[in-house]
Chain A
Amino acid sequence: MRTLLLLGALLSGMASAQPVPLEFYLRGNGKVFLSEARTQGGVGGGAGVRGFLSESLLLQADLGYLSQIGNVAELRLGAGWQLPGTLWRPGAAVILSTLLGDRLSFLTPHHPTPVGTPAFSLGLALSPLRFTQAGVSVSLLEVELGLGWEFPGLGLALGLTLVETSLRF
């Protein structure tokens, strides 16, 4: 939440120099982080804010809740690009993602105790089916693929946003 407020303040500051269109969005998604030490994630949804630095460049942040393997909070920060000017506006974004909360833990020689840190990952999200009309956007089947780290070891982050709807102000 704090990150969302910070991003909002940042975008507001930019808006004072020149107007920055903002979008607020809701999403329904699934996300899983897989490593030899944990499986974390689930299905759920969240809300976020997206600011457009130009017709096609954007910054975004969202916060979500996932269940199925306990209770998990998902925080994502992203920067990306969207095809400008048309009804069909596919896009791509670099996403820094964090999962906090419950997890399935696996004990290994490298991780003889359950990992206690959030699952961080850096990846790419693709929005091939995003459509915009009159300030309203709908995006279907966004996919996200990321690489995370376990200190030691790596993890794989897989995400799928079934639907995202956004409203531009």
Chain B
Amino acid sequence: MVLVGLLTGCSQMDFDQAPRPEFLRTLMAEVQPQRLIDEVDALVQAHQSDVPLDCEAVGLPDDDRVCHHSRVAAGQRIRSVLESMGAVVTVDAQGEGAFATQNLVVELRGTVHPDQVVLVGAHYDSFYGGADDNSSGVAAMLELYRVLSTRSLDRTLRLVWFDFEEFGFIGSQRYVQSLPEGETVEVAVVFDCVGYSDGRPGSQEALPGFPTPSEGDFIALIGNQTSEQKTVEAYALNTQLEVMRAAAVVSPGDGAFPITGPLLRSDHSVFWLDGLPAVFLTDTARLRNPHYHQLTDTADTLDPVFFANVVRLSTAAVGHWVGAR
């Protein structure tokens, strides 16, 4: 197998089935950039029109950012869009009080290996309008659903919009702790901030110990030891399909080390710490985007081409892993 891989130039991939580039390109071509931007715009409006968190009532500091956290209207928007596409949305409601969570779940059942799940997740709560953080991830998932829901899938594709990420991954933690018995999460793909790009030299900050391009125009693919293979596959697919500039990093172990701690700052970390494979896609948020957690995080600051390419790459990778036909 290795020899064949070396001879065919596909040594980086160890798929249980070979990728089908032409088919994956067809999937990628179905991604509609304008829909993505329009959806982010609608989600930002939903956040801005929402009643924000009563931070005083829940005992949080009277901080301008914290007191502009919202989620309900965006959740309603997600349900509305999904139901308009014929999806059956399940609400995973857990907890009580101010931090009661409502994860929104949609599933496309696999026809060959229904117990093998490819999970895609993004949080839908935001500070202010939250265009990049994380309406971009929410919109990416809606587009992913739209493209893949017309296909037959070998494995089960489950999309989960997580609640209350901004206060410590509350929704995703509760979700992972209550995963159904008897199924295997083949991989979780988590989006958080996937729409902002800046190609100017010096626009990208780096973390110590991470060789990072100076231009903030790449998508970061972040895995750990458990998801190393899937991270390698996503990187190889991006190379093979020539989608976009990407930087991939694999953290050792579960990623919970002092130097790698900054890589844990989204819902994928919950999967990592539970021993489940997860690949995190991000534009690196505050390391690039000056609008991060600001009032100015609006749809017009996003890069439609970059954003669409992230969704194309994700569609190809998820389509491959889920065995779309």
A residues bordering B, Cβ < 8 Å?
A: 32, 34-36, 39, 42, 67-70, 102-107, 109, 112-114
User: Would you call the interface of chain A mostly helix, strand, loop, or mixed?
Assistant: strand
How many A-B contacts are there with CB distance less than 8 Å? 63
Q: Please name the 4 residue pairs, one residue from A and one from B, whose CB atoms are nearest each other, closest first.
A: A102-B252, A70-B252, A107-B248, A105-B250
User: Known contacts A68-B257, A107-B232, A107-B235: does B209 contact A39 (CB below 8 Å)?
Assistant: yes
* Set of chain A residues within 8 Å of B209, measured between Cβ atoms: 32, 34, 39, 69, 104
- B24 CB to nearest chain A CB (Å): 18
If A32-B209, A69-B209 touch, whether A104 touches B236 (CB-CB below 8 Å) is no
A109 to B221, CA, bound (A): 14
Q: Which chain B residues border A109 with CB–CB below 8 Å? A: 239
**Cβ contacts under 8 Å, A107 to chain B:** 221, 231-232, 235, 247-250
Asked if A104 meets B228 with Cβ closer than 8 Å, knowing A67-B257, A68-B257, A112-B12, the reply is: no
Residues of A within 8 A of B180 (CB): none
- Shortest CB-to-CB span from A154 to chain B, Å, is 13
B242 CB to nearest chain A CB (Å): 12
Interface size class of B (residues with CB under 8 A): 20 to 34
Instruction: Tell me which residues across on chain A come within 8 A of B282, comparing CB atoms.
Output: none
Cβ of B201 under 8 Å from chain A: no
Nearest chain B CB to A34 CB, angstrom units: 7
Q: Is the CB of B236 within 8 A of A112?
A: yes
B212 CB to nearest A CB, Å: 9
Of all chain A residues, the one with the shortest Cβ separation from B212 is A106
B149 in the interface, Cβ–Cβ < 8 Å?
Answer: no
CA distance A167 to B22 in the complex (A): 68
From residue A140, how far is it (CB to closest CB) to chain B in Å? Answer: 24
CA distance A36 to B249 in the complex (A): 11
Contact (Cβ within 8 A) B252 A113: no
Interchain CB contact under 8 A, A113 and B232: yes
Separation of A43 and B235 alpha carbons in the complex (Å): 31
Besides A106-B211, A106-B247, A107-B232, 5 more A-B contacts (Cβ < 8 Å) are A34-B209, A42-B259, A69-B257, A112-B12, A112-B236
Tell whether, in the assembled complex, residue A104 and residue B252 are in contact, meaning their CB atoms are under 8 Å apart. yes
A106 contacts B249, CB within 8 Å?
yes
Chain B 233-253: CB-based contact to A (< 8 A → 1; otherwise 0): 001100100000001111111
